Amino acid sequence: MSPTKTPRGRGRSPRIVRIALAQVNPTVGDLPGNAKRVIEFLDRARAMGAELVAFPELVLTGYPPEDLLLRPDFIDQNMAALEEVARATTGITAIVGFAQRDGDLYNAAAIAHDGEIAAVYHKSHLPNYAVFDEFRYFRPGRNPFVVKRGPLTFGVNICEDIWLPSNPTLLAVYGDAELVINLSSSPYHMEKSVGRDRMLATRAMDGVSVVAFVNTVGGQDELVFDGNSRVFGPRGETLARAKAFEEDLLVLDLDLDEVFSARLKDPRSRELSQREDAITLPVVQLRPLPEPARPPLKPRRVEPPTGAVEIYKALILGTRDYVRKNDFNHVLLGLSGGIDSALTASIAVDALGPENVTGVFMPSPFTQRTSEEDATALSKNLGIQLITLPIEEEMKSYRSTLRTVFATATEDTTEENIQSRIRGNFLMALSNKFGWLLLTTGNKSEYSVGYTTLYGDMAGGFAVLKDVPKTIVYELARHRNGLAASKPWIPGRTIDREPTAELRPGQKDTDTLPPYDVLDPILKAYVEEDWEVERIVAMGYDRGLVQRVVRMVDWAEYKRRQAPPGIRITPRALGKDRRLPITNRHQPWRD
């Protein structure tokens, strides 16, 4: 099946239908704004001659709406927004995700047709793992059906529904319908789209049908949705794909004869609907509409990003959306001369433009001259404002006030934390005074082992690199420096120098931590994979070291509980997908 064959060459066939996938970026809670955006895309799809346009899961509420779903007025307003969208569907069919109040609450998809709601599908399988809590809100649906619209029979399901291979009535939809539309809000993590696309292609092949996957795009607190909407043909081949990490309207022509022809050759689709436990699916018949004019479609080729490119794009989108959707225009961050703050600043500039980013350099007596040079060079390369606030006077004040009470105590990390918290206070003062959002610069390796100061370098509204291991921080810095559009932003010395917090003379990260290329694989195994110590040791690491790292991770839970949100880029971040008790006497590091 080829998406470019129509309508040129064959003229207009009644068995060719034009469909559109509207990969939009909604904002959680913004019911009027989301409805407006949906209607804009709907109008664009209509203008392009599409007969049918599909939107992502819960597009009207944004995803995930979390406990907003427990407010009756919120649900009612989302129903009103759906009515508004439905009224705008003159001459077209739209599939729109919303939360349906119908005695109980359902994660739902409305089939709106020519100004009215023709049917509503209820999500059948509710995810309740990782970042998902859908059992908290919804009743599982039990109402599969197919829809007939002119020559086309299509079915609808929602996100998790298509991940489950087992439900016989849902499977029957694949067999009965020529097109199955899956509405998703499928959050990004590295390489997730590989497994997702493989699964979707398999579902299309199993049902000998077209599968159209329409996904949300955009950032929402910890989550980034990657878009990457995609259409698969009845042999699992890709018919079309939308962009990654930006809004897109994907329009294509489907030749139903090709699905029919494929089915005649491949009888599996019949078996799906003839299992003993399959029911006869209800049919929703849409009333006929005049055929829209069909302007020719431009050929398009979208190459999905991979590796560092993909991660960097995710971080830009996550940062931009957190800032903008929370009504900030400007961000600030501390620049230390080190790589974490340099990368965070680069992402902020790519997300918001240099005029909306301010760097703050806060030297202490322990700050090396090279740090100041590198922070200055970075801010010049980026074209951002740099404010310098030395912290020495405040250090003296604290030391003096605490002299008596600390008289018999020896110096330790307390004095280092005081410095870090002085800086946190300065950054928050600028944030409060000027209404700027404070970006936090810590990375996942540091947050994992608690190599951070609560209310100090952890202070801030958004932690851009919170889920980025230090080894990937280096990859991303090199990737950004290698982009052709500008000269390298991050000074070479910032990348090459040995990591240090500069909180005491000559301090290095490796005084406290193993080298990051040793630490990161241990952290991945423990934090992301739940491996026990023995299994990590068997990878070839020193037992004592693994035990120490595991102990640090567990001990630092209280710090992470008070950390700002950050962008999830791995299968398990340090946010809502990792819920550990603070009070916890499990000691997996013990021999």
Residues annotated catalytic, as ranges: 57, 123, 159
Residue 279 is a binding residue for a copy of itself (CB under 8 A): no
Residue 581 is a binding residue for a copy of itself (CB under 8 A): yes
Q: How many CB atoms lie within 10 A of CB 297?
A: 18
Residue 329 is a binding residue for a copy of itself (CB under 8 A): no
Amino acid identity of residue 11, one-letter, is G
Cα distance from N-terminal residue to C-terminal residue, the chain: 60
Chain residues 237-256 in contact with a copy of itself, contact rule CB under 8 A? none
CA 403 remoteness from chain centre: 48
Alpha carbon distance 472, 220 (integer Å): 22
Alpha carbon distance 247, 347 (integer Å): 19
CA 343 remoteness from chain centre: 19
The residue (of 72 and 115) whose beta carbon lies closer to a copy of itself is 72
Residue 585 is a binding residue for a copy of itself (CB under 8 A): yes
Q: How far is the CB of 83 from a copy of itself (least distance, A)?
A: 18
The residue (of 73 and 277) whose beta carbon lies closer to a copy of itself is 73
The partner residues of 187 in beta bridges, in order of sequence, read: 225
Residue 260 is a binding residue for a copy of itself (CB under 8 A): no
Contact 55, 22 (CB under 8 A): yes
CA distances for 289 relative to 51, 90, 91, 255, 294, angstroms: 9, 9, 6, 19, 14
Alpha carbon distance 194, 258 (integer Å): 26
Contact 30, 321 (CB under 8 A): no
Q: How far is the CB of 373 from a copy of itself (least distance, A)?
A: 22
The residue (of 28 and 472) whose beta carbon lies closer to a copy of itself is 28
Alpha carbon distance 440, 562 (integer Å): 13
The count of chain residues that interact with a copy of itself, using the rule CB under 8 A, is 82
Chain residues 371-430 in contact with a copy of itself, contact rule CB under 8 A? 387, 389-391, 393-394, 396-398, 400-402, 405-406, 409, 412-414, 417-418, 421-422, 424-426, 428-430
Residue 135 is a binding residue for a copy of itself (CB under 8 A): yes
Residue 94 is a binding residue for a copy of itself (CB under 8 A): no
Which residues have CB under 8 Å from 396's CB, separation 6+?
Answer: none
Q: How far is the CB of 465 from a copy of itself (least distance, A)?
A: 17
The residue (of 50 and 550) whose beta carbon lies closer to a copy of itself is 550
Tell me the window of 23-31, 101-109, 115-123, 228-236 that interacts with a copy of itself (CB under 8 A).
23-31
**b/e sequence 13-52, b meaning 16+ C-beta within 10 Å:** eebbbbbbbbbbbbbbbbbeebbebbbebbeebbebbbbb
Residue 263 is a binding residue for a copy of itself (CB under 8 A): no
Q: How far is the CB of 397 from a copy of itself (least distance, A)?
A: 4
Candidate list 8, 14, 129, 277; residue touching a copy of itself; CB under 8 A: 129
CA distances for 221 relative to 461, 462, 515, angstroms: 10, 9, 31
Q: Quote the tokens at residue 276.
A: 């003993």
The residue (of 8 and 585) whose beta carbon lies closer to a copy of itself is 585
Chain residues 559-578 in contact with a copy of itself, contact rule CB under 8 A? 561-565, 578
Candidate list 511, 517, 530, 542; residue touching a copy of itself; CB under 8 A: 530
Residue 71 is a binding residue for a copy of itself (CB under 8 A): yes
Residue 67 is a binding residue for a copy of itself (CB under 8 A): yes
CA quadruple 76, 77, 81, 83: dihedral, nearest 10 = 30
Candidate list 142, 265, 369, 579; residue touching a copy of itself; CB under 8 A: 579
Backbone angles phi, psi at 491, to 5 degrees: -55, 140
The residue (of 280 and 400) whose beta carbon lies closer to a copy of itself is 400
Tell me the window of 49-57, 172-180, 216-224, 467-475 that interacts with a copy of itself (CB under 8 A).
216-224
Residue 133 is a binding residue for a copy of itself (CB under 8 A): yes
